[in-house]
Amino acid sequence: MTECDFKVTLLGTGVPIPSPDRFGPATLVEAGDQKLLFDAGRGAAIRLYQLGVPLGRINALLLTHYHSDHTSGIPDVWLTGWLQSHFGTRSKPFRVIGPVGARNLMENLERAYALDIKIRIADEKLEPAGIGVEVDEFVDEGPVYEANGVKVIAFEVDHGEMIKPAFGYRIEYDGRAAVISGDTRFHPNVITHSTGADLLIHEVAAAPPELMREEFIQRIIGHHTSPHEAGLIFAQAAPKLAVYTHIVQIASEHIAPVTLDALIAETRKTYDGPLVVGEDLMSFEIGEQVTIKRFAR
Ligand SMILES: [Zn+2]
Ligand SMILES: [Zn+2]
Protein backbone atom coordinates (compact mmCIF):
# COMPACT_ATOMS: atom_id res chain seq x y z
CA MET A 1 0.00 0.00 0.00
CA THR A 2 1.31 3.43 -0.85
CA GLU A 3 1.32 6.26 1.66
CA CYS A 4 -1.65 8.58 1.34
CA ASP A 5 -0.50 11.87 -0.20
CA PHE A 6 -3.12 14.04 1.56
CA LYS A 7 -3.27 13.76 5.30
CA VAL A 8 -4.55 15.97 8.09
CA THR A 9 -3.41 15.50 11.70
CA LEU A 10 -4.90 17.21 14.74
CA LEU A 11 -1.92 18.31 16.83
CA GLY A 12 -4.02 20.01 19.48
CA THR A 13 -7.77 19.72 19.93
CA GLY A 14 -8.01 21.89 23.03
CA VAL A 15 -8.71 25.44 24.08
CA PRO A 16 -7.03 27.79 26.59
CA ILE A 17 -7.34 25.13 29.36
CA PRO A 18 -3.74 23.93 29.96
CA SER A 19 -4.76 20.28 29.68
CA PRO A 20 -2.18 17.55 29.10
CA ASP A 21 -4.76 15.60 27.07
CA ARG A 22 -5.80 18.31 24.67
CA PHE A 23 -3.01 20.67 23.64
CA GLY A 24 -3.64 24.11 22.17
CA PRO A 25 -5.23 24.42 18.72
CA ALA A 26 -2.94 23.32 15.88
CA THR A 27 -3.53 21.20 12.79
CA LEU A 28 -0.95 19.75 10.41
CA VAL A 29 -1.88 19.32 6.75
CA GLU A 30 0.44 17.20 4.61
CA ALA A 31 -0.37 17.33 0.91
CA GLY A 32 2.09 16.17 -1.73
CA ASP A 33 5.45 17.51 -0.56
CA GLN A 34 3.89 20.36 1.43
CA LYS A 35 3.56 20.47 5.20
CA LEU A 36 1.35 23.28 6.42
CA LEU A 37 0.60 24.14 10.02
CA PHE A 38 -2.73 25.80 10.84
CA ASP A 39 -2.41 27.71 14.11
CA ALA A 40 0.27 26.93 16.65
CA GLY A 41 -1.25 26.62 20.08
CA ARG A 42 0.45 25.36 23.21
CA GLY A 43 2.50 22.24 22.59
CA ALA A 44 2.43 22.26 18.77
CA ALA A 45 6.20 21.66 18.70
CA ILE A 46 5.86 18.65 21.03
CA ARG A 47 3.16 17.08 18.84
CA LEU A 48 5.24 17.58 15.67
CA TYR A 49 8.17 15.92 17.44
CA GLN A 50 5.92 12.97 18.39
CA LEU A 51 5.01 12.59 14.72
CA GLY A 52 8.65 12.70 13.69
CA VAL A 53 8.09 15.84 11.61
CA PRO A 54 11.11 18.16 11.97
CA LEU A 55 9.90 21.62 12.99
CA GLY A 56 12.03 23.10 10.24
CA ARG A 57 10.14 21.06 7.66
CA ILE A 58 6.97 23.18 7.95
CA ASN A 59 6.53 25.11 4.69
CA ALA A 60 4.16 27.69 6.18
CA LEU A 61 2.20 28.53 9.29
CA LEU A 62 -1.30 29.84 8.59
CA LEU A 63 -3.16 31.66 11.35
CA THR A 64 -6.92 31.82 11.80
CA HIS A 65 -7.09 34.65 14.36
CA TYR A 66 -5.11 36.14 17.21
CA HIS A 67 -6.49 34.62 20.41
CA SER A 68 -3.41 33.52 22.34
CA ASP A 69 -4.47 29.87 22.55
CA HIS A 70 -3.88 29.73 18.77
CA THR A 71 -0.53 31.51 18.77
CA SER A 72 1.29 30.76 22.04
CA GLY A 73 3.17 27.84 20.44
CA ILE A 74 4.61 29.99 17.63
CA PRO A 75 7.90 31.01 19.27
CA ASP A 76 8.64 27.36 20.07
CA VAL A 77 8.01 26.13 16.50
CA TRP A 78 9.89 29.09 15.05
CA LEU A 79 12.93 29.16 17.37
CA THR A 80 13.34 25.43 18.04
CA GLY A 81 12.83 24.74 14.33
CA TRP A 82 16.03 26.67 13.65
CA LEU A 83 18.27 24.48 15.82
CA GLN A 84 20.77 22.24 14.10
CA SER A 85 19.48 18.96 15.57
CA HIS A 86 17.28 16.57 13.59
CA PHE A 87 14.10 18.06 15.08
CA GLY A 88 14.93 21.54 13.79
CA THR A 89 16.98 22.11 10.62
CA ARG A 90 15.19 25.07 9.07
CA SER A 91 17.61 26.92 6.81
CA LYS A 92 15.08 29.19 5.11
CA PRO A 93 12.95 31.94 6.67
CA PHE A 94 9.88 30.89 8.68
CA ARG A 95 6.85 31.66 6.55
CA VAL A 96 3.73 32.97 8.28
CA ILE A 97 0.44 33.70 6.54
CA GLY A 98 -2.48 35.28 8.31
CA PRO A 99 -5.03 38.05 8.44
CA VAL A 100 -3.83 41.52 9.45
CA GLY A 101 -1.98 41.21 12.75
CA ALA A 102 0.52 38.52 11.69
CA ARG A 103 3.27 41.03 10.91
CA ASN A 104 2.94 42.83 14.22
CA LEU A 105 2.96 39.53 16.10
CA MET A 106 6.05 38.19 14.34
CA GLU A 107 8.00 41.46 14.45
CA ASN A 108 7.47 41.65 18.17
CA LEU A 109 8.50 38.03 18.66
CA GLU A 110 11.69 38.81 16.76
CA ARG A 111 12.24 41.69 19.16
CA ALA A 112 11.46 39.56 22.21
CA TYR A 113 13.91 36.83 21.24
CA ALA A 114 16.61 39.07 19.74
CA LEU A 115 19.20 38.14 22.34
CA ASP A 116 18.68 34.38 21.92
CA ILE A 117 19.00 34.80 18.17
CA LYS A 118 22.17 36.90 18.49
CA ILE A 119 23.73 34.41 20.90
CA ARG A 120 22.99 31.37 18.75
CA ILE A 121 24.35 32.99 15.60
CA ALA A 122 27.58 33.85 17.44
CA ASP A 123 27.88 30.69 19.56
CA GLU A 124 26.30 27.89 17.50
CA LYS A 125 27.08 29.50 14.14
CA LEU A 126 23.46 29.01 13.05
CA GLU A 127 22.57 30.47 9.68
CA PRO A 128 20.79 33.82 10.15
CA ALA A 129 18.56 32.98 7.15
CA GLY A 130 16.88 30.15 9.07
CA ILE A 131 15.55 32.41 11.81
CA GLY A 132 14.26 35.04 9.40
CA VAL A 133 10.52 35.53 9.14
CA GLU A 134 8.52 36.06 5.99
CA VAL A 135 4.99 37.30 6.60
CA ASP A 136 2.11 37.44 4.14
CA GLU A 137 -0.87 39.32 5.53
CA PHE A 138 -4.26 39.34 3.90
CA VAL A 139 -7.37 41.46 4.36
CA ASP A 140 -10.02 39.69 2.33
CA GLU A 141 -10.97 36.12 1.73
CA GLY A 142 -9.51 34.26 -1.24
CA PRO A 143 -6.45 32.16 -2.15
CA VAL A 144 -3.53 32.78 0.23
CA TYR A 145 -1.10 29.95 -0.58
CA GLU A 146 -0.29 27.90 -3.62
CA ALA A 147 2.61 25.47 -4.09
CA ASN A 148 3.15 22.17 -5.88
CA GLY A 149 -0.54 21.49 -6.43
CA VAL A 150 -1.67 22.59 -2.96
CA LYS A 151 -4.01 25.56 -2.77
CA VAL A 152 -5.24 27.22 0.42
CA ILE A 153 -8.24 29.55 0.40
CA ALA A 154 -9.08 31.75 3.38
CA PHE A 155 -12.70 32.53 4.16
CA GLU A 156 -14.18 34.85 6.72
CA VAL A 157 -15.96 33.49 9.78
CA ASP A 158 -17.71 35.14 12.73
CA HIS A 159 -16.01 34.72 16.10
CA GLY A 160 -17.87 37.66 17.65
CA GLU A 161 -18.27 41.41 17.20
CA MET A 162 -14.95 42.33 18.77
CA ILE A 163 -12.88 39.32 17.67
CA LYS A 164 -11.80 40.36 14.22
CA PRO A 165 -10.18 39.33 11.97
CA ALA A 166 -11.23 35.66 12.09
CA PHE A 167 -10.85 33.25 9.20
CA GLY A 168 -11.26 29.60 8.29
CA TYR A 169 -9.30 27.76 5.58
CA ARG A 170 -10.06 25.40 2.73
CA ILE A 171 -7.13 23.28 1.55
CA GLU A 172 -7.36 21.75 -1.92
CA TYR A 173 -5.10 19.08 -3.34
CA ASP A 174 -5.50 16.83 -6.36
CA GLY A 175 -9.29 17.10 -6.53
CA ARG A 176 -9.79 16.65 -2.79
CA ALA A 177 -10.47 19.21 -0.08
CA ALA A 178 -10.23 19.66 3.67
CA VAL A 179 -11.75 22.57 5.56
CA ILE A 180 -10.81 24.02 8.94
CA SER A 181 -13.49 26.27 10.42
CA GLY A 182 -11.25 28.23 12.77
CA ASP A 183 -13.01 29.70 15.80
CA THR A 184 -16.49 30.80 14.83
CA ARG A 185 -20.10 30.93 15.80
CA PHE A 186 -22.54 29.33 13.38
CA HIS A 187 -21.64 30.87 10.02
CA PRO A 188 -23.08 30.02 6.59
CA ASN A 189 -19.71 30.85 5.02
CA VAL A 190 -18.39 27.60 6.47
CA ILE A 191 -21.11 25.75 4.55
CA THR A 192 -20.32 27.68 1.35
CA HIS A 193 -16.66 26.74 1.52
CA SER A 194 -17.02 23.17 2.75
CA THR A 195 -19.82 21.87 0.57
CA GLY A 196 -18.46 18.82 -1.22
CA ALA A 197 -15.27 18.78 0.89
CA ASP A 198 -13.87 15.43 1.96
CA LEU A 199 -13.08 16.54 5.49
CA LEU A 200 -14.67 19.28 7.58
CA ILE A 201 -12.94 20.07 10.86
CA HIS A 202 -15.17 22.27 13.00
CA GLU A 203 -14.94 23.83 16.43
CA VAL A 204 -17.65 23.24 19.03
CA ALA A 205 -18.64 24.50 22.47
CA ALA A 206 -21.07 23.41 25.16
CA ALA A 207 -21.80 24.34 28.77
CA PRO A 208 -23.94 22.65 31.43
CA PRO A 209 -27.28 24.56 31.74
CA GLU A 210 -26.52 25.50 35.39
CA LEU A 211 -23.47 27.44 34.26
CA MET A 212 -25.27 29.34 31.53
CA ARG A 213 -26.48 31.78 34.19
CA GLU A 214 -22.96 33.21 34.42
CA GLU A 215 -22.45 36.18 32.13
CA PHE A 216 -18.85 35.30 31.22
CA ILE A 217 -19.93 31.80 30.24
CA GLN A 218 -22.73 33.16 28.07
CA ARG A 219 -20.08 35.30 26.40
CA ILE A 220 -17.76 32.35 25.75
CA ILE A 221 -20.59 30.22 24.37
CA GLY A 222 -21.69 33.19 22.23
CA HIS A 223 -18.33 33.16 20.46
CA HIS A 224 -18.58 29.54 19.40
CA THR A 225 -20.78 26.98 17.65
CA SER A 226 -23.09 24.67 19.61
CA PRO A 227 -23.24 20.96 18.70
CA HIS A 228 -26.80 21.51 17.49
CA GLU A 229 -25.61 24.28 15.13
CA ALA A 230 -22.53 22.35 14.02
CA GLY A 231 -24.88 19.51 13.05
CA LEU A 232 -26.80 21.92 10.82
CA ILE A 233 -23.55 22.90 9.12
CA PHE A 234 -22.47 19.27 8.66
CA ALA A 235 -25.89 18.32 7.31
CA GLN A 236 -25.78 21.02 4.65
CA ALA A 237 -22.10 20.71 3.71
CA ALA A 238 -22.27 16.89 3.74
CA PRO A 239 -18.52 16.19 4.00
CA LYS A 240 -17.26 12.61 3.78
CA LEU A 241 -16.26 13.06 7.42
CA ALA A 242 -17.07 15.74 9.99
CA VAL A 243 -14.60 16.17 12.85
CA TYR A 244 -14.79 18.15 16.06
CA THR A 245 -11.72 19.98 17.28
CA HIS A 246 -11.22 22.98 19.59
CA ILE A 247 -13.62 21.30 21.96
CA VAL A 248 -14.88 23.81 24.51
CA GLN A 249 -16.32 21.87 27.43
CA ILE A 250 -17.15 24.46 30.03
CA ALA A 251 -17.06 23.32 33.64
CA SER A 252 -16.56 24.82 37.07
CA GLU A 253 -14.90 23.54 40.21
CA HIS A 254 -18.16 21.87 41.20
CA ILE A 255 -20.02 21.32 37.95
CA ALA A 256 -18.82 18.70 35.48
CA PRO A 257 -18.55 19.51 31.76
CA VAL A 258 -20.96 18.27 29.11
CA THR A 259 -19.61 14.84 28.16
CA LEU A 260 -18.41 13.96 24.68
CA ASP A 261 -21.29 11.47 24.41
CA ALA A 262 -23.74 14.28 25.18
CA LEU A 263 -21.97 16.46 22.61
CA ILE A 264 -22.46 13.77 19.98
CA ALA A 265 -26.09 13.15 21.01
CA GLU A 266 -26.85 16.86 20.63
CA THR A 267 -25.20 16.88 17.18
CA ARG A 268 -27.26 13.86 16.16
CA LYS A 269 -30.44 15.93 16.50
CA THR A 270 -29.47 17.81 13.36
CA TYR A 271 -26.97 15.53 11.57
CA ASP A 272 -26.81 11.81 10.97
CA GLY A 273 -23.70 11.53 8.77
CA PRO A 274 -20.11 10.48 9.55
CA LEU A 275 -18.79 12.26 12.64
CA VAL A 276 -15.84 11.87 14.98
CA VAL A 277 -14.72 13.80 18.05
CA GLY A 278 -11.09 14.69 17.44
CA GLU A 279 -8.23 13.65 19.70
CA ASP A 280 -4.68 14.97 19.73
CA LEU A 281 -2.60 13.20 17.08
CA MET A 282 -5.65 11.67 15.40
CA SER A 283 -5.14 11.85 11.65
CA PHE A 284 -7.26 11.60 8.57
CA GLU A 285 -6.02 10.18 5.29
CA ILE A 286 -7.94 11.68 2.42
CA GLY A 287 -8.03 9.24 -0.46
CA GLU A 288 -11.11 7.83 -2.19
CA GLN A 289 -12.44 7.56 1.34
CA VAL A 290 -11.42 9.41 4.46
CA THR A 291 -9.65 7.04 6.85
CA ILE A 292 -9.29 7.80 10.55
CA LYS A 293 -5.96 6.87 12.14
CA ARG A 294 -5.41 7.00 15.86
CA PHE A 295 -1.85 7.61 17.02
CA ALA A 296 -0.07 4.56 18.40
CA ARG A 297 1.77 5.84 21.48
ZN1 LIG B 1 -9.69 29.30 20.35
ZN1 LIG C 1 -10.68 32.27 19.50
Residue 291: predicted pLDDT: 98
Q: Mean pLDDT, to the nearest integer, of 185-198?
A: 97
Give the ligand at the shortest distance from the Cα of 67: 2
- Rounded to whole angstroms, the Cα distance separating 239 from 161 reads 28
User: What is the tens place of the pLDDT at every residue in 278-292?
Assistant: 999 999 999 999 999
Q: Nearest to residue 205, comparing CAs of 38, 61, 17?
A: 17
The predicted-structure confidence for 107-139, as pLDDT tens digits, reads as follows 999 999 999 999 999 999 999 999 999 999 999
Share of the chain above pLDDT 70, in %: 99
Give the predicted TM-score (pTM) of the model. 0.97
Percent over 90 (pLDDT), the chain = 98
pLDDT of residue 22: 97
- Contact between residue 156 and residue 189 where contact means Cβ atoms under 8 Å apart: yes
Alpha-carbon torsion (130, 135, 141, 142), positive or negative: negative
The catalytic residue among 39, 69, 158, 183 is 69
Query: Any idea what DSSP says for residue 98?
Result: E
CA of 41 to the centre of ligand 1 (A): 9
Question: What pLDDT sits at residue 2?
Answer: 60
The order of strands in the sheet holding 290-293 is 133-138, 94-99, 60-62, 34-38, 26-31, 6-12, 283-286, 290-293
Half-sphere exposure for 262 (CA within 13 Å, toward CB): 12
User: β-strands 34-38, 60-62: how paired?
Assistant: parallel
C-alpha–C-alpha distance, residues 177 and 8, integer Å: 11
**Centroid of ligand 2 to alpha carbon of 39 (angstroms):** 11
Q: Catalytic site residue 136?
A: no
- With a cut of 70, say whether residue 80 has pLDDT above it: yes
